[in-house]
Chains A and B, each alone.
Chain A
Amino acid sequence: MNTAFRRVALVGRPNCGKTSVFNALTGLQQKVANYPGVTVEYKKARIETAMGPIELIDLPGLYSLTPQSADEEITVRAMTEGDDIIGPLDGLVLVGDASNLVLCLRLLLSLKPLGLPIIFVVNMMDVATRLGLRLDLSGLAQDLGVTIVPTHAHRRHGIDDVMTALAEVPPRTTPLPPFQQSETLRQRHDRARALVRTYVGSTDIISSQSDRLDRVLMHPVWGISILLVVLMVVFQAVFAWATPVMDGIDAGVGLLAGGVDQLLPNGLVKSLLIDGVIAGVGSVIIFLPQILILFLFILLLEDSGYMVRAAVLMDRLMGMSGLNGRSFIPLLSSFACAIPGIMATRVIPDPKQRLVTILLAPLMTCSARIPVYTLIISAFVPQQVVGGVLQLQGLVMFGLYAAGILGAIVVSHVINWLFLRQGVQSEFVMELPRYQWPNARNVALGLVGRSQAFLVRAGGIIFLSSVVIWVLSSFPAPPPDSTAPAITHSLAARIGDWLHPLFAPVGFSWQMAVALVPGMAAREVVVGALGTLYAVGDGQETLGSLEALLRQQWSLATALAFLAWYVFAPQCLATLATIRRETNSWRWPVITFVYMTALAYGAAFVTYRVASWAMG
């Protein structure tokens, strides 16, 4: 089967600059595709060459043709068998790192028997030059019988030559010969080293700029200090820089709702638009500034090569929870939102480690909890200074964050013991890429891709759950003569009523039990729901008066129990749906829901009882 375009796959070891080459070749035309059944993504793009169109496929990085992860398996399958999803290939572009050719050449030697034409892109030529390496690429090309193109993809050097080489890839007319590897890995490795000795010079270690940087950035004292500063800057940015934009979005959503309110007659359609659609979409995009800033920093840190260092620095600390350094970034991202955090676990190759990380991510204090915490703390915790310097309110906030982390440490041990039955893993090997200045194009393309993924995956679910919750909160409609808030007649209220006896032992009022139902759409929704239920200003968010009202209605013990509940409760359908998607099974979202609810209930119960007792 031969269609009008040729299909060429980009392959290479991780960290060789493959993505930079792909970005330089394709720009914005790239699309992210999901491999069905597994959480493996690959990118593809249609490009025009002098000799007709080519579909370029960026396959996940691989170390060898013996697959060790789901990612590698897809790559190997696509190259060797040609699979139905990616389609048959006409050629390969192998991207290698000029300053470190041994392993790239070894991979090239194992790809050659596939029978596909290979363009060997020797990237990062700038680094090789800086290290004083003199590469005899024409000699190497002749020896290997492949086309070699030197590039420096960050600066787009050599990309036109790759295009020219791509144009000349012939359409394949015959089926691939059966794949047979005639040499052992060891033999290929020795051959690759011999090639490097002949065409580059010594294979011995050269000290580079990156090593000197690592001496500082990985230093036991300086390294940790710098990491802490970096994390503080990221947090500061996520929470401080995003606020004006979030306020703007909030105001915009308010205006839009107001406009619809003016335009449409009262009724179901208006209510669905304002309370379901606009509120639902609003609750998604309100977090977009934070998530974009978070993604921006993650991309900058990844592209510069620092991210892996952070993972290594934190490895032992993560080890205390039976995890390793790779879980650090996903869990860190979860402080903004668990959804991008859970999506980021794809970089963890060990499926069990990945699963534990996914289950722990919702325990990190996400930004949707902040409005809830802020409301309760400012209503119930006095503004006083403790020990001369510390604000009591800030201290409580810190305590809530710490409670989430402590909970995660305990839960990880329980999960390991209950479900996975594995000891602390000793295996942890990570390659540290060379430091480089982040490339604007790579970061921008990454930001677009990840935001799209977030909006499509999380947005759809949050929107859908908002509409479902709206239905629950609006039907059945209140009788015309009712003066109570409409929600008190709804299904949500019935669920809340039904739940209330369960929540009485932890000190929750029926209004609180009812508010937890719409709060399932997203945590911060509970604030508005409480406002509606306590009939503050007709559901408009007048936080000041809600605070005063809650102070009258709730005891301190109830307020603290509510905080404890929110530290652990799985009050976010989108997170559960993301877990379902990422684990490809209902089992883990159900387990997450059950364990988090149990933990939340236990914490609220203990808090309520202890606080009631302490108050006398």
Chain B
Amino acid sequence: MKPSLTLAAGGLSDLGTKPADTIPHLSRRLSDLVPGQAGRVAPEAAHVMAPELQTVMDRFGLFPGAQVQCLGEAPFGHDPMIIKIDNHRLAIRRAMAQQIAITAEA
């Protein structure tokens, strides 16, 4: 099933202020991974696309099919989370990780 997501353009800034549970969970999100868990970046349509996010995903190769793993979380509010993508480690704020859809690890 291909998830369809309709969010206003520039949704990132709105999302930043909303509590996590008001964001539609149509698929698993990068932020759902707990330390040790892995997944793969979902097809493009599943992400909540904002320009800033696109830049980050391009920059670090968060393209569909890439393997991501949650390595850990910083202490305050479990934020930022630390993920591994290909073989590099990234710290990413949860608000941002919430926009990235993943599929369960195959």
Q: Is A396 an interface residue (CB 8 A)?
A: no
Q: Is B82 an interface residue (CB 8 A)?
A: yes
Question: CA–CA, A424 to B52, complex, Å?
Answer: 15
Q: Is B32 an interface residue (CB 8 A)?
A: no
Question: CA–CA, A206 to B69, complex, Å?
Answer: 10
Question: CA–CA, A219 to B72, complex, Å?
Answer: 7
Interface string of A203-226 (1 = CB under 8 A from B): 111101011001100111101100
Say yes or no: B69 contacts A426, CB within 8 Å: no
With a cutoff of 8 Å between Cβ atoms, the chain B residues found around residue A189 in the complex are 61, 63
With a cutoff of 8 Å between Cβ atoms, the chain B residues found around residue A428 in the complex are 80, 91-93, 96
With a cutoff of 8 Å between Cβ atoms, the chain B residues found around residue A430 in the complex are 80, 90-91
Say yes or no: B76 contacts A317, CB within 8 Å: yes
Knowing A205-B38, A315-B93, A426-B96, say if A218 contacts B61 (CB, 8 Å).
no
Knowing A206-B87, A214-B82, A312-B82, say if A429 contacts B72 (CB, 8 Å).
no
Say yes or no: A431 contacts B60, CB within 8 Å: yes
* Set B16, B60, B78, B90: member contacting A426, Cβ < 8 A: B16
Of residues 43 through 90 on chain B, the ones whose CB sits less than 8 Å from some CB of chain A are 52, 55-56, 58-61, 63, 66-67, 69, 71-80, 82, 84, 86-90
Question: CA–CA, A102 to B72, complex, Å?
Answer: 23
Interface string of A411-448 (1 = CB under 8 A from B): 00000000000011011111110000000000000000
Q: Is A64 an interface residue (CB 8 A)?
A: yes
With a cutoff of 8 Å between Cβ atoms, the chain A residues found around residue B92 in the complex are 428-429
Say yes or no: B75 contacts A99, CB within 8 Å: no
Question: CA–CA, A427 to B93, complex, Å?
Answer: 7
With a cutoff of 8 Å between Cβ atoms, the chain B residues found around residue A221 in the complex are 75
CB distance from A458 to the nearest CB of B (A): 32
Q: Is A152 an interface residue (CB 8 A)?
A: no
Say yes or no: A429 contacts B60, CB within 8 Å: yes
* Set B17, B58, B72, B84: member contacting A218, Cβ < 8 A: B72
With a cutoff of 8 Å between Cβ atoms, the chain B residues found around residue A147 in the complex are none
CB distance from A26 to the nearest CB of B (A): 27
How many residues of chain A have a CB within 8 Å of chain B? 43
Question: CA–CA, A432 to B92, complex, Å?
Answer: 10
CB distance from A576 to the nearest CB of B (A): 33
Q: Is B4 an interface residue (CB 8 A)?
A: no
Question: CA–CA, A103 to B60, complex, Å?
Answer: 7
With a cutoff of 8 Å between Cβ atoms, the chain A residues found around residue B74 in the complex are 218, 220, 223, 312-313, 315-316
Say yes or no: A205 contacts B73, CB within 8 Å: no
Q: Is A587 an interface residue (CB 8 A)?
A: no
Q: Which residue of B lies closest to A309 (CB)?
A: B91
Of residues 260 through 317 on chain A, the ones whose CB sits less than 8 Å from some CB of chain B are 308, 312-313, 315-317
* Set B55, B61, B80: member contacting A315, Cβ < 8 A: B80
Say yes or no: A316 contacts B79, CB within 8 Å: yes
Say yes or no: A204 contacts B67, CB within 8 Å: yes
Say yes or no: A432 contacts B82, CB within 8 Å: yes
Question: CA–CA, A206 to B87, complex, Å?
Answer: 7
Q: Is B42 an interface residue (CB 8 A)?
A: no
Question: CA–CA, A424 to B71, complex, Å?
Answer: 25
Question: CA–CA, A102 to B67, complex, Å?
Answer: 13
Question: CA–CA, A313 to B76, complex, Å?
Answer: 8
* Set A186, A204, A206, A423: member contacting B17, Cβ < 8 A: A423
* Set A205, A214, A224, A315: member contacting B79, Cβ < 8 A: A315
Interface centre among B16, B63, B67, B75 (most CB of A within 10 A): B75
CB distance from A516 to the nearest CB of B (A): 40
Question: CA–CA, A572 to B87, complex, Å?
Answer: 46
Question: CA–CA, A190 to B73, complex, Å?
Answer: 30
Of residues 120 through 144 on chain A, the ones whose CB sits less than 8 Å from some CB of chain B are none
* Set A215, A315, A317, A429: member contacting B90, Cβ < 8 A: A429
Question: CA–CA, A315 to B16, complex, Å?
Answer: 16
Question: CA–CA, A214 to B91, complex, Å?
Answer: 12
Of residues 8 through 22 on chain B, the ones whose CB sits less than 8 Å from some CB of chain A are 12-13, 15-17
Question: CA–CA, A205 to B77, complex, Å?
Answer: 26
With a cutoff of 8 Å between Cβ atoms, the chain A residues found around residue B13 in the complex are 423, 426
* Set B66, B78, B91: member contacting A312, Cβ < 8 A: B91
Say yes or no: B84 contacts A220, CB within 8 Å: no
With a cutoff of 8 Å between Cβ atoms, the chain A residues found around residue B93 in the complex are 315, 426-429
Say yes or no: B96 contacts A205, CB within 8 Å: no
* Set A215, A315, A317, A427: member contacting B72, Cβ < 8 A: A215
With a cutoff of 8 Å between Cβ atoms, the chain B residues found around residue A325 in the complex are 80, 91
Question: CA–CA, A315 to B93, complex, Å?
Answer: 9
CB distance from B102 to the nearest CB of A (A): 13
Please name 22 pairs of A and B residues whose Cβ atoms are closer than 8 Å in the assembled complex, sorted by A: A100-B88, A102-B86, A103-B61, A185-B58, A203-B86, A208-B87, A214-B89, A220-B78, A223-B75, A224-B75, A312-B74, A316-B74, A317-B76, A325-B80, A423-B17, A426-B12, A426-B15, A427-B93, A428-B91, A428-B93, A429-B92, A431-B90
What would 16 more interface pairs be, CB under 8 Å, given A189-B63, A423-B16? Answer: A68-B59, A100-B86, A106-B61, A185-B58, A218-B74, A315-B74, A316-B74, A317-B76, A325-B80, A426-B15, A427-B96, A428-B92, A428-B93, A431-B60, A432-B82, A432-B88
Chain B residues with CB under 8 Å of chain A are: 12-13, 15-17, 38, 52, 55-56, 58-61, 63, 66-67, 69, 71-80, 82, 84, 86-93, 95-96
